[in-house]
Structures are given as structure tokens and as C-alpha cells.
Amino acid sequence: MLSTTIGVFALQGDVREHLAALEAVGVTTLTVRRPEELARCDGLVIPGGESTTMGKLARIFGLLDPLRERIATGMPTFGTCAGMIMLADRVLDGTADQETIGGLDITVRRNAFGRQVHSFEGPLTMTGLAEPVHAVFIRAPWVESVGDDVEVLARVEGGEAHGRIVAVRQGNLMATSFHPEVGGDARVHRSFVDLVRSA
Ligand SMILES: NC(=O)CC[C@H](N)C(=O)O
């Protein structure tokens, strides 16, 4: 079998952590800053970071339209946190000029967990994983609503945000509000790699 190449959008964000998680799963990785690099990818990860900056840089580097085209034509893509925002069709509490790639029929709310609770972590039950994942949330978005074709993979359990959607899948697109690349558990990346291999 030809090896699977998964790119990590690398204009901004926690690129290294994703590269390490993907390498732990045993795929070939590639940092993506230019359309030529994107063209070599079987799948793509969009990391956590800052979504307004990602949108601006993607526009400046001529990557926004190639990304939209690859995603529209089925390239499996996994967004974490800011990456989830980049994949969302609709953003609440974004900046006026915020551009996303889009593709996922979801509405996300940026920095949804409030100013007091920027960051928290804990176990989270996720569809497809036998044991809970240790989910790290850093100024995270949540998914306010989803379209009919979107499968909800995880919801917050307990606390003020109980029931809020924090992981979704729609066809070849996956997104989490939290950071599975942090903490050495590669199971979420493995399920994305399985998605890429079956695409
Ligand atoms: N950890 C993160 O990726 C935070 C996302 C950030 N709050 C944004 O709006 O882009």
C-alpha cells in the first residue's frame, strides 16, 4: 500500500504537537504553507491557534481558495479548536472580517466557555473510542448548532456547559473543540487516519 501523507496547516498554530501525534500513528507528515504542499496531501489537519490570524494568513499566502477547493472535493480534514472554527460554515463572536475555509455545516461560537474559564481539562466520552479521551480546552469554541448531515461525536458532561457539542463529523470532515494533540493520546488522530485511509 502507498504510504498515507497527512499535512498540517502550518501558517499558525500548534503544528508540532499535531506532527508528533500523526507520526505516532505512523503516517508520513508534511507541513503545509503553500498550495504545492497541499497538493501532496491525502488528508489535512488544521491545528489549534488563533482562527482570525489563520484566515488572514491563508488569504495572504494564497492558500484559502485551494483549501476550499480540496475540502469541497472530498479531502479528509480534521480541525482542532481554531481549526474547528476554520472548517465551520458559520461563526458567532468572530471578527467582522473573519474568513474561514468552511465545509462543515455547523455554527460555532468562538471563545464560548467564557472569559472566566479560558481553559480546563477532563475526561470526555467520544463516539468511536472505548475509553474517554482526556480533553484539553484552551479558549475553545463550542458548536452551537449542526446541520442534518453532521454527526455529533461528543458533548460536555456536567457543569454550566453541560450538553454543549464539542466534537463532530460530517463525511470526510472532523472537528473537535479540544486539543487531542496535547497529552500523548493518539486515538483521535488514529481515527482520523482511518478516515483518510478509507476515503
Ligand atoms: N486554542 C485555540 O485554538 C483557541 C481558538 C481561538 N480562541 C480562536 O478563536 O481562534
Q: Which residues pair with 108 in a beta bridge?
A: 91, 143
Atom nearest to 138 CA in ligand 1:
1
Residue-wise pLDDT tens digits, 74-129? 999 999 999 999 999 999 999 999 999 999 999 999 999 976 567 889 999 999 99
Q: Which residues pair with 107 in a beta bridge?
A: 90, 145
Q: How far, in Å, from the CA of 177 to the mean position of ligand 1?
A: 9
| Residue 45 backbone class (left: φ over 0; alpha: ψ -120 to 50; beta: rest) | beta
**Structural domain of 67:** 5-198
Count of structural domains within the chain: 1
Residue-wise pLDDT tens digits, 53-77? 999 999 999 999 999 999 999 999 9
Q: How far, in Å, from the CA of 86 to the mean position of ligand 1?
A: 10
Q: Tell me what ipTM this predicted complex has.
A: 0.96
The amino acid sitting at 85 is: I
Active site residues: 81, 179, 181
Residue 172's domain is classified under what CATH number? 3.40.50.880
The 10 Å CB-count burial string (b at 16+, else e) for 135-166 is: bbbbbbbbbbebeeebeebbbbeeeebeebbb
The pTM score is 0.96
Ligand 1 within 6 A of 7 CB? no
Atom nearest to 13 CA in ligand 1:
3
Which of 46, 47, 2, 6 minimizes the C-alpha distance to 25? 6
Ligand 1 within 6 A of 112 CB? no
